Amino acid sequence: IAGKEKELLELCGRDNRLDLTENIQNFIQFGINLNAKDDGGRNALHLMCQNYSSPKLTDVIQLLIENKTDVNAKDNDGLNAIHFLCRYHSSQNLIKAIQILIRFGIDAKATTNDGSNALHYLCRYNASQNLNDAIKIFTKLGLDLMTEDNDGWDALFYLRNKDKKEMNIWFDRDAILGQGGFGTVSQGKFGGREVAVKRVELRHVDKREEDAMLKLEHPNIVQLLHFEKDNDFMYYALELCVASLDQLFLKSDNPKKYDGRMPRQIVVFSQLASGLEHIHSKKLIHRDINPKNILIMKSPGKIEEIILKWSDFGLAKSVNEKGLHSWSGVK
């Protein structure tokens, strides 16, 4: 970037409550390229919509566009000026600024590289008192609150979840590994690691299963890596396995059949016995031993080891010092 262009971008990149119209007019008189971009692909208009909190915001937007700033320019992530405005600007100027950008021909329906549109940004981040009025502007233009971004979330979802804490567990709603009466297991990520994410409605959370998994740490038991909740669900990040043991015995034409490597039978039984021994050492009994609850995992690394792991402790019960437990429920 040439010297004056760099100065302009630095000026626009600072949060400034002063009237910058005269400063920007001075830059324009130098004949500089108002469409110059920083390393993130942002031009002066982007930076103003992101950072400028002065009541003069609308005057500056109009000044830049009237002097041939590309109103539809996008940064490296696919954001145009209206995305920056909806993401970062919550002042009384929000409505007027949106209207000016639309009047000058910005593509108000444009989506970013991750599939987000202006409504996603408004509903996910913006705390303006005029939020409802801003949403109405975009819905009248034809944007739909139910349109999903690339992660599968719509604007209404973000609006409902705006005040919830940032979640550490992410899951792909389309990559379902299993489904039960009270929850689903999907493929996801936790801390950069591929995991299985079990999502359960809070009213159906089984404290017994949670307590059991917190007690257990063994190579032949599926490890609970992390758990957290929002206002509606509990999320469990678990070790990701490739199949359950029952899939080994499916017919060859079944697409769910596991046809990968398996250890020798003596190794399989040894692993399962070791896992059960650990469960019993913690004064727990599983109470639902069947192939569906034995998972097959491939260890990471060059030497791919197949490891059998016990899972699903929803029916587990603790025993007292005499080895006794109550017999309510499944017998």
Please identify every residue annotated as catalytic: 288
Contact (Cβ atoms closer than 8 angstroms) between residue 170 and residue 189: yes
The set of long-range contacts for 286-289, using a CB threshold of 8 Å and a minimum separation of 24, is 286/310, 286/313, 286/315, 286/316, 287/315, 287/316, 287/317, 287/330, 288/312, 288/314, 288/315, 288/316, 288/330
- Any alpha helices (H) in 174-317, and if so which ranges? 207-215, 265-281
Do 225 and 183 touch, CB atoms closer than 8 A?
no
- Please enumerate, by residue number, every residue annotated as part of a binding site for ATP: 198
Q: What element of type H or E holds 244? A: strand 243-244
Tokens 């973000």 found at? 158
Q: Which residues pair with 193 in a beta bridge?
A: 190
CA distance 191 to 225: 10
- Distance of alpha carbon 18 from alpha carbon 315, whole angstroms: 65
d(CA 230, CA 35): 43
**Torsion sign, CA atoms 154, 158, 161, 165:** positive
